[in-house]
Chains A and B, each alone.
Chain A
Amino acid sequence: MRQSYLLSGALALFLASCQLVEFSPNQTYVPVAERNLTSRNLRQLATAGPSLGDTVRFVFVGDTQRFYDETEQFVASVNQQRGIDFVLVAGDISDFGLLREFRWVNQRLQRLRVPYLTVIGNHDVVGNGRAVYQQVYGPLNYSFLYKGTRFVCLDTNGREYGFGRQVPDLAWLRRQLADTAARTVVVSHVPPTDEDFDPALVQGYAATLRACPNLVLHLSGHVHRYTAAQPFHDGITYLTTYSLEKHRYHILTMWGHRQFRLETVVYGAES
């Protein structure tokens, strides 16, 4: 009897792991090992991070959406880098907001030697994607402290919510930025200069960031290319990064009060 339980359990696990049994492409159900990846990866970061000094060095890339081949090449390239603390993916993990896409991306990114963290992109909100993201990664807005740096990751996909003045959550953002002791980085998918950012919240968002004296950078994806500017002429630098299809990623190094260095890495073959 017990053997048959074990056998059926093993069969269920096998079927779930090879993704063959799916009740809807929009379902959120995944095996326990593939849930809450944000908190899992943060725990991994807290225990495994090289902890000398206050210098934090991380890979920054955006938009893995349906670029699975490139994601594999990306992982191979990042794994050859030295002294990387973690990888930050600026949203649009998926293209269609389907569960399997998130799993395909995680199957590749979990081969990174360092933990990876994400923010939710507009393509991840589509359909049931928002619920899938919450199941696979966790909260849409979260922040963490690492080597004296506060990383604030939030949902800025205003268009997906019909520009209801709810997203991004400025009250939540203000609370995170109240921790003035730490060097701060804000990460979102849609930059506030984009047409997909809720136009009613652009000025409030920029003002909230301006009020944070320790803000190093604002980081985004969405536009699939590198841009760096101070669009609000307030000394706050807004940076966007490449999508996976561009075969490029950034390495950001931060130290001191607000010092940073930006490197660009080209990898794989552009076909």
Chain B
Amino acid sequence: MGQKAKWLWLVCALAPGALQAQSSGVAPAGPFFLSLHVAGGTGLVALGGGYRVAHQRLEPELLVGYLPHRLSGGKALAIFTLKATYLPFAPTLGHSRWQVTPVTLGAMVNYTTGRQFFLTNNTAGRYRPGYYWWSSAVRVGALVGLRLSYLDPRPGSAPRFTSLYSELSTNDLHLVSLLTNRSLRLPDVLTLGAGLK
């Protein structure tokens, strides 16, 4: 059971780019990981990290994204994203060290800095209540993705995973636009993102 169970667990866990994996590999939470994310509405590039929970099926993380002035049209902006990714399963490719997660699901909420954005209609200080119903600074999003992970065996220490992933996401305001218009199609509101963990 020992070796096999350990393998099975690691397969399910998809430990991505762990800084320090748990030596037993069966811990309900941890370890920490680092993320490098590109596009996907969270900045040109975003850096961050998180901690795996729920028997390593759920990855909450914090990303800090950078939107340079060439993309923002004014001052460079920072985008802070709280994101959670759920990994339902991750089969190994044959007897290799490669694992594939065909479906990941996630949700995120992000805050964009900049004086032009308001947290709520009322905090902006220039509108009567209900003038604008949404926050221009905060976006809520949902995503689906896939990922490929490589297990890096380290003699004498815990195994380490490096994962490459991509995901399609949308946000609340794009979704509202889609739902209220027949002439918009799902691809119109999707955004592609990719990264390394």
- Partner of B174 from the list A20, A25, A135, A160 (CB cut-off 8 Å) is A25
Q: A20-B190, A21-B39, A21-B191 are in contact. Are A97 and B74 (CB under 8 A)?
A: no
Give A163-174 as 1s and 0s: 1 = Cβ < 8 Å from B's Cβ atoms: 100000000000
Q: Measured between alpha carbons, how far is A19 from B187 in the docked complex, in Å?
A: 9
Report if A27 contacts B (CB, 8 A).
Answer: yes
A135 closest partner in B (C-beta): B73
Q: Measured between alpha carbons, how far is A66 from B175 in the docked complex, in Å?
A: 11
Q: Measured between alpha carbons, how far is A25 from B125 in the docked complex, in Å?
A: 24
Q: Are B112 and A24 in contact (CB under 8 A)?
A: yes
Q: Are A29 and B187 in contact (CB under 8 A)?
A: no
Report if B72 contacts A (CB, 8 A).
Answer: yes
Q: A24-B72, A131-B72 are in contact. Are A69 and B183 (CB under 8 A)?
A: yes
A160 closest partner in B (C-beta): B126
Contacts of A24 in B (CB 8 A): 41-43, 65, 67, 71-72, 77, 79, 112
Report if A5 contacts B (CB, 8 A).
Answer: no
Residues A77-134 near B (CB distance < 8 A): 95-98, 100-101, 104, 108, 126-128, 130-132, 134
Q: Are B181 and A66 in contact (CB under 8 A)?
A: yes
Report if B152 contacts A (CB, 8 A).
Answer: no
Residues B115-139 near A (CB distance < 8 A): 116-117, 125-127, 132, 134, 136-137, 139
Q: A24-B41, A104-B188 are in contact. Are A29 and B181 (CB under 8 A)?
A: no
Give B176-196 as 1s and 0s: 1 = Cβ < 8 Å from A's Cβ atoms: 110011111001111110000
B184 closest partner in A (C-beta): A68
Q: Are B126 and A163 in contact (CB under 8 A)?
A: yes
- Partner of B77 from the list A26, A72, A95, A98 (CB cut-off 8 Å) is A26
Q: Are A95 and B71 in contact (CB under 8 A)?
A: no
Nearest Cβ in chain B — how far from A206, in angstroms?
Answer: 23
Nearest Cβ in chain B — how far from A101, in angstroms?
Answer: 7
Residues A21-57 near B (CB distance < 8 A): 21-29
Nearest Cβ in chain B — how far from A194, in angstroms?
Answer: 13
Q: Measured between alpha carbons, how far is A19 from B170 in the docked complex, in Å?
A: 12
Q: Are A159 and B127 in contact (CB under 8 A)?
A: yes
Report if B173 contacts A (CB, 8 A).
Answer: yes
B168 closest partner in A (C-beta): A20
Q: Are B41 and A23 in contact (CB under 8 A)?
A: yes
Contacts of A95 in B (CB 8 A): 173, 177
Nearest Cβ in chain A — how far from B19, in angstroms?
Answer: 27
Report if B88 contacts A (CB, 8 A).
Answer: no
Contacts of B182 in A (CB 8 A): 69
Nearest Cβ in chain A — how far from B168, in angstroms?
Answer: 8
Residues A138-196 near B (CB distance < 8 A): 159-160, 162-163
- Partner of B177 from the list A68, A72, A126 (CB cut-off 8 Å) is A68
B114 closest partner in A (C-beta): A128
Q: Are A26 and B112 in contact (CB under 8 A)?
A: yes
Q: Are A27 and B191 in contact (CB under 8 A)?
A: no
A158 closest partner in B (C-beta): B126
Q: Measured between alpha carbons, how far is A24 from B67 in the docked complex, in Å?
A: 8
- Partner of A126 from the list B44, B70, B125, B136 (CB cut-off 8 Å) is B136
Nearest Cβ in chain B — how far from A34, in angstroms?
Answer: 14
Q: Measured between alpha carbons, how far is A231 from B127 in the docked complex, in Å?
A: 25
Contacts of B134 in A (CB 8 A): 96
Q: Are B71 and A23 in contact (CB under 8 A)?
A: yes
Q: Measured between alpha carbons, how far is A98 from B178 in the docked complex, in Å?
A: 14
Residues of B within 8 A of A (CB): 39-44, 65, 67, 70-74, 77, 79, 112, 114, 116-117, 125-127, 132, 134, 136-137, 139, 168, 171, 173-174, 176-177, 180-184, 187-192
| Shortest Cβ-Cβ A-B pairs, 4 listed | A28-B73, A131-B73, A127-B136, A68-B181
Give me 24 A-to-B residue pairs in the complex whose CB atoms sit less than 8 angstroms apart, sorted by A's number. Answer: A21-B191, A22-B39, A23-B43, A23-B44, A24-B43, A24-B65, A24-B67, A24-B71, A25-B41, A25-B171, A25-B173, A26-B72, A27-B72, A27-B73, A29-B70, A66-B181, A68-B181, A69-B181, A95-B177, A100-B188, A126-B132, A127-B117, A128-B74, A159-B127
